A and B are shown apart, each in its own frame.
Chain A
Amino acid sequence: DIQMTQSPSSLSASVGDRVTITCRASQSISSYLNWYQQKPGKAPKLLIYAASSLQSGVPSRFSGSGSGTDFTLTISSLQPEDFATYYCQQSYSTLYSFGQGTKLEIK
């Protein structure tokens, strides 16, 4: 099975900050990497698919990069509505797996 590891597990930042979250796969997954945002009590929302493609309707301050085993999600200028938990997910294997999540909190 492919293990996904995110860092950091939690992060405090301020509105306007640039934030980067990292996701590492236990083996190469090419660009089969997606990012989701989840707010408390809500379903996850797709942000980025195929490592760097922005899902329709998602603000352009979100971007993704990477391939192989190392990936990043960047938020260029944090907005109040961005404070949430973020998950990476691999679809290289049909036995999908998620990272443990990164909780982004207000400093």
Chain B
Amino acid sequence: EVQLVESGGGLVQPGGSLRLSCAASGFTFSSYEMNWIRQAPGKGLEWVSYISSSGSTIYYADSVKGRFTVSRDNAKNSLYLQMNSLRAEDTAVYYCARVNLKRFVSYMDVWGKGTTVTVSS
């Protein structure tokens, strides 16, 4: 079964750090680009970060640039999001999602169930 499972969420104080993980199974992880998406309570979806299949190309939303770092370990079938200098507005459910490509259009066809990050004192 194709699956993504996030972990590492929790309660952290403003200014603190957290590292999220996303474990992939059921597909050749090293062949796929990946995204992190988040959703603040009661709000819509916000794209956070992209990483290419090899990890050589990375992009971030302006809202997290300079504070978050995405990485992957293809040998461990895992995706990571290191979050530093956390703010209250980073409170959200964080999803990892697989990027697929057909007819030159990329889309996110597999999503994890999400992990919750709460930034509060």
Contact = CB atoms under 8 A, between A and B. Distances in A.
B61 A91 contact: no
Nearest to B96: A43
Interface string B94-105: 010000101101
A49 B107 contact: yes
Contact of B95 (A43, A87, A100): A43
Given A44-B45, A95-B61, A50 B103 contact: yes
Given A94-B50, A97-B47, A101-B45, A46 B109 contact: yes
Contacts of B61: 95
A22 interface: no
A46 B101 CA distance: 13
B107 to A, nearest CB: 4
Nearest to A56: B109
Contacts of A69: none
A72 interface: no
Nearest to A95: B59
Interface string A32-46: 101010100011111
B113 A98 contact: no
Q: How large is the interface on A (under 10, 10 to 19, 20 to 34, 35 or more residues)?
A: 20 to 34
Interface residues of B, number: 23
A50 B105 contact: yes
B47 A45 contact: no
B106 interface: yes
23 contacts: A31-B103, A31-B105, A32-B105, A32-B106, A36-B45, A43-B95, A43-B111, A43-B113, A43-B114, A44-B108, A44-B111, A46-B109, A50-B102, A50-B103, A51-B105, A53-B102, A87-B45, A91-B105, A91-B106, A91-B107, A98-B47, A99-B44, A100-B44
Nearest to B100: A49
Nearest to B4: A43
